[in-house]
Amino acid sequence: MKIVLLPSETATVLVEALPYIREFANKAVVVKLGGAAIDKTSDLALAQDVLLLRSVGVRCVLVHGGGPQVDAMLRRVGKEPEFKDGLRVTDGDTLDIVRMVLVGKINRDLVATINSQAGDEPVAVGVSGEDAGLLTVTPADPALGFVGNVTQVRAELIHRLLDDGLTPVISTIGANAEGQPYNVNADEAARAIAVAMKAEKIVYLTAAPGLLDDVNDEHSLVPRLTSAELRQRIGSGSVSRGMIPKLRACADAVDQGVRFAHIIDGRVKHSLLIELLTDHGVGTMVKKEKSW
């Protein structure tokens, strides 16, 4: 059912958004889209959110994963996904499939969806971390195969695209100094990009409402906490294992200079706009200090 606002209600929403628009204009926001939150409906709403933010001066960068899609493709070719400590074991054949799915499928689909909503002037541009040495990596662990840790981000390349009025959509395949591609954990890649860009915010769009006090109760959302409080929760084992990489990346991001980190539900239509441009938001916000 479509909800129709009265003119006065629409005006109230716009007035509420105005101070946030002023605050974030000309500042970088890195949005990480998890594979579990990718579908045609949510991608269309996200495209509209990104374009609206761009139109009011927010320098928006989209970084995407694609774990479930990679798993599905591996199984289609008769290869069972393998993980170690939450990271994908990536041999040569798996790396080929990861590159094909992330760079050749998901990235192209996201770019096409954003550009379909951009009118006569397409603005989204697909970029792989391999391109022009955008993400330089070193091997993470020999037992993981071709899995890399980001050691350098050429942030000036991203800023150059933004200066030209383009919206970068980045797939998280990096390369070492010799040009060998590596699979990179998308949560960590997004954090490294946000830190290198000196971003105002990093936002993780997930298939969960945010950080929950009770993992079995979606109404027990923790709306805001500091990075130190977040690390305590991670250390106590009170958070779900699947959320740990995102939570750790949020804590690391704000401790390394990003002002705000958010975990929000990418399944909720226009959740990015609600979180960034309204008083209440829809997810969990992390800051270094308690200054709400």
Dump pLDDT digits (tens) for 76-111. Answer: 999 999 998 878 999 999 999 999 999 999 999 999
% of the chain at pLDDT higher than 70 = 94
Closest by alpha carbon to 266, among 198, 194, 210, 196?
210
Kindly report the CATH number assigned to the domain that includes residue 200. 3.40.1160.10
Tokens coding 33: 């889209």
What is the mean pLDDT of the segment spanning 113-122?
91
Average pLDDT, the chain: 91
Which residue is associated with the tokens 């694609």? 66
Query: Which range of residues forms the domain containing residue 109?
Result: 25-287
Residue 66 maps to a domain: yes
Type of residue numbered 265: D
225 forms bridges with which residues in the sheet? 286
CA 70 – CA 4 distance, rounded (Å): 39
Quickly state the pLDDT bin for 147 (edges 50, 70, 90): very high
The predicted structure's pLDDT at residue 232: 92
The predicted structure's pLDDT at residue 1: 45
> Would you list the DSSP string of 24-82?
HTT-EEEEEEPGGG--HHHHHHHHHHHHHHHHTT-EEEEEE--HHHHHHHHHHTT----
Dump pLDDT digits (tens) for 32-87. Answer: 998 766 776 678 889 999 999 999 999 999 999 899 999 999 999 999 999 988 78
Residue 281 maps to a domain: yes
CA 245 – CA 142 distance, rounded (Å): 20
What is the mean pLDDT of the segment spanning 106-120?
93
Dump pLDDT digits (tens) for 207-232. Answer: 888 999 888 888 889 999 999 999 99
SS3 5: coil
Tokens coding 104: 């050749």
The predicted structure's pLDDT at residue 163: 97
> Which residues does the annotation mark as catalytic?
32, 35, 67, 187, 246
Q: What is the pTM of this model?
A: 0.93
Quickly state the pLDDT bin for 114 (edges 50, 70, 90): very high
Residue 253 maps to a domain: yes
> Considering its fold, how many domains does the chain have in total?
1
What is the mean pLDDT of the segment spanning 249-271?
93
The predicted structure's pLDDT at residue 240: 77
The predicted structure's pLDDT at residue 58: 95
Is pLDDT above 90 for 204? yes
Is pLDDT above 80 for 187? yes
CA 210 – CA 240 distance, rounded (Å): 11
% of the chain at pLDDT higher than 90 = 68
The predicted structure's pLDDT at residue 120: 86
